[in-house]
Amino acid sequence: MSLFSLSKKIKKLKQLKKQAQQNQQPSKAIPSSLLDQINSIKEKTGNSIDVVIRKLQLGDSKGPDTAVVFVEGISDSKAINDFLIESIMNNHPSPNSRPIYDILFEKVVALGDVKEIKDWDNLYLSLMSGESIILVDGEKRALSASTRGGEQRSIEEPGSQVTVRGPRDGFTESIRTNTALIRRRIQNPDLWLENMKIGSVTKTDVSIMYIKGIAKDEIVEEVRNRLKRIEIDSILESGYIEQLIEDQAFTTFPTLYHTERPDMVAGNLLEGRVAIIVNGTPFVLIAPAVFIQFFQSVEDYYGRADIATALRFLRILIFFISIIAPAAYIAVTTFHQEMIPTQLLVAIAAQREAVPFPALVEALIMEVAFEILREAGIRMPRAVGSAISIVGALVIGQAAVQAGIVSPAMVIIVAITAIANFATPAFAVAISARLIRFGFMFAAATFGFYGIILGVIILAVHLCSLRSFGVPYLTPIAPLIPANLGDTIVRLPMWAQKKRPRLFSNKETRVGDNQKPQPPEGRGMVNDTLEKGDQDEQ
């Protein structure tokens, strides 16, 4: 056994021992005195003004018998007033009746989800999740009523993935709203949802959703284990989760797919993938992810197959233009002038006559300038951001040409590259192309087209080495799976896509036999039928 594998096993055993010790730590019990309970809550929350404690008196008792505790802003105040406080105040138990706690649990609390809490950890967890806590004097336990609510953003069209045809609803920052949007599309009891709390301080709700029987159990278990291994104090967005569970940390390419479209998540679940939903963000993670998935749009499945195939070819071409175009110009003008037509070569030479810098420096100046303008357009207010980007690009490009810093041809190449980068469907891959482009530029300036070809080979080898939850990143192209090639660069019609992706799906068949549309046996024209009917009437 090697030292590396031995140290890895020792580290894993230490982690398991630490988790076992954390699980064995007993939680502090709730005292029986209502006054002690209220004082403990005030002390723990720092007497925060948004933690509301409403004391209530039942029957003919001289002091408060119960108290309702909730956090203002994340709880539904109307539900608390109508179904908790009013119900408790209208209840007048007789002296010889059953204990108040049992009466509240069985008859008084008019809410759907009511559960019993016996320790402080679960009490604070429920309280900070938006639930209301009902305390009863003389009881070492409490009731938790589901009253989550408060102000939330309404369902709107997603801004990062706009489509011409398709649904207009998008995810919000509420995890329950997001799961409901998915369930409206997949009304099947086999759509399973598992919830967990991640973050020792934030206690963020994280759910995994998959279709039992379609998703492979091995992948679901791997997703579950990676989420359970996370030890961090805060989870504020799904990007935190993505960085902690991805297969390969040192790569510019994303190995998890994120989207804010419910229809896209539903489509991926039906293929056997797993969705990771994080409370507080509209972006849902999908695992496993493959490379070709980032060039597919949800519109591809709502239109004709031939049009979708043409658009996918265009997106692949756009991706290569965005990473190779400046490098190709540098290689041609520096090493391979014989590849340029004579008239064009003379024009380029005339343009570059007044430029004191080599082609690489030209490209770096323009690329950095465009990146600065791009970031400025994103960070500025929406009303002026687009104007700054367009005007800034025109002014800087024209001024740079007139000053003799860059040639007009270089401005055209960089502009085409920037437009191609914007046309990439997935923002995560577009950022990767922006970074890889600089490596290709330096390779072209050093070795010409040989450097570009070497860069393409290194890029292909790197993509082949990537995995997403054990699934090869370039599947079904490498390794080649002919049965799944119908939904890659080429999209076959729906009736021809009979098989789900084999590597992350159990149930392969998804389209029945004889689904190809066929015309009726009688191929007569409608006009012939009408004329025959007129003759019969005569």
The pLDDT tens digits of the residues spanning 372-415 come to: 888 877 777 766 666 666 667 667 777 888 888 888 888 889 88
Q: Do residues 52 and 190 share a domain? A: no
Domain boundary among 454, 472, 490: 472
Contact 286, 298 (CB under 8 A): no
Confidence of residue 92 (pLDDT cuts 50, 70, 90): low
Residues 297 and 487: their CA atoms lie apart, in Å, by: 12
Residues 269 and 265: their CA atoms lie apart, in Å, by: 6
Beta strand extents in 25-117 (DSSP E only): 51-56, 66-71, 114-117
Q: Do residues 47 and 138 share a domain? A: yes
Q: Is residue 496 part of a domain?
A: no
Contact 455, 440 (CB under 8 A): yes
Q: Is residue 535 part of a domain?
A: no
Bridging pattern class, strands 142-145 and 204-211: unpaired
Q: Do residues 138 and 207 share a domain? A: no
Beta strand extents in 257-392 (DSSP E only): 257-259, 274-278, 284-287
Number of domains forming the structure of the chain: 3
- CA 241 to mean position of chain CA atoms: 10
Q: Do residues 319 and 428 share a domain? A: yes
Residues 209 and 36: their CA atoms lie apart, in Å, by: 41
Q: Do residues 312 and 276 share a domain? A: no
Q: What is the mean pLDDT of residues 196-207?
A: 92
Lowest-pLDDT range, 1-10, 207-216, 359-368, 487-496?
1-10
pLDDT of residue 229: 93
Contact 501, 320 (CB under 8 A): no
Cα–Cα separations (whole angstroms), residue 46 to 39, 40, 41, 43, 233 = 10, 10, 8, 5, 20
Q: Is residue 525 part of a domain?
A: no
Confidence of residue 473 (pLDDT cuts 50, 70, 90): very high
Domain boundary among 442, 472, 502: 472
Q: Is residue 155 part of a domain?
A: no
Q: What is the mean pLDDT of residues 331-346?
A: 86
pLDDT tens per residue across span 249-283: 889 999 999 999 999 999 999 999 999 999 999 99
Domain boundary among 126, 145, 164: 145
User: Which amino acid is residue 236, in one-letter code?
Assistant: L
pLDDT of residue 91: 72
pLDDT of residue 538: 56
Q: Do residues 393 and 253 share a domain? A: no
Q: Give the Cβ contact number of residue 433 at 10 Å.
A: 22
Is the model more confident about 196 or about 495? 196
**Of 125, 129, 169, which is closest to residue 146 (Cα–Cα)?**
129
Q: Does pLDDT of 521 surpass 80?
A: no
pLDDT of residue 66: 86
Radius of gyration of the chain (CA): 31
Cα–Cα separations (whole angstroms), residue 455 to 213, 276, 291, 461, 484 = 42, 34, 18, 10, 28
pLDDT of residue 170: 92
Q: Do residues 365 and 417 share a domain? A: yes
| Tokens standing for residue 131 | 């639930």
pLDDT tens per residue across span 235-247: 999 999 999 999 9
Lowest-pLDDT range, 92-96, 297-301, 329-333, 391-395?
92-96
Q: Does pLDDT of 7 surpass 60?
A: no
Tokens 């997935």 found at: 426
Instruction: Give the structural domain span for 245.
Output: 175-289
Q: Do residues 266 and 328 share a domain? A: no
Lowest-pLDDT range, 171-185, 220-234, 295-309, 380-394?
380-394
Full DSSP string of 387-411: HHHHHHHHHHHHHHHHTTSS-HHHH
Q: Is residue 198 part of a domain?
A: yes
Q: Do residues 271 and 215 share a domain? A: yes
Q: Give the Cβ contact number of residue 475 at 10 Å.
A: 22
Q: Do residues 125 and 186 share a domain? A: no
pLDDT of residue 165: 86
pLDDT of residue 415: 86
Q: Do residues 321 and 452 share a domain? A: yes
Q: Do residues 403 and 328 share a domain? A: yes
**Of 102, 69, 71, 109, which is closest to residue 88 (Cα–Cα)?**
109
pLDDT of residue 111: 66
Q: Is residue 406 part of a domain?
A: yes
Q: Does pLDDT of 342 surpass 70?
A: yes
Q: What is the mean pLDDT of residues 306-319?
A: 92
Residues 194 and 179: their CA atoms lie apart, in Å, by: 11
485 DSSP 8-state letter: T
The structure's pTM equals: 0.84
Across 417-431, b (16+ Cβ under 10 Å) vs e yields bbebbeebbbebbbe
pLDDT of residue 375: 80
Q: Is residue 386 part of a domain?
A: yes
Residues 463 and 473: their CA atoms lie apart, in Å, by: 7
pLDDT tens per residue across span 15-48: 655 554 554 455 688 888 889 999 999 999 998 9
Q: Is residue 105 part of a domain?
A: yes
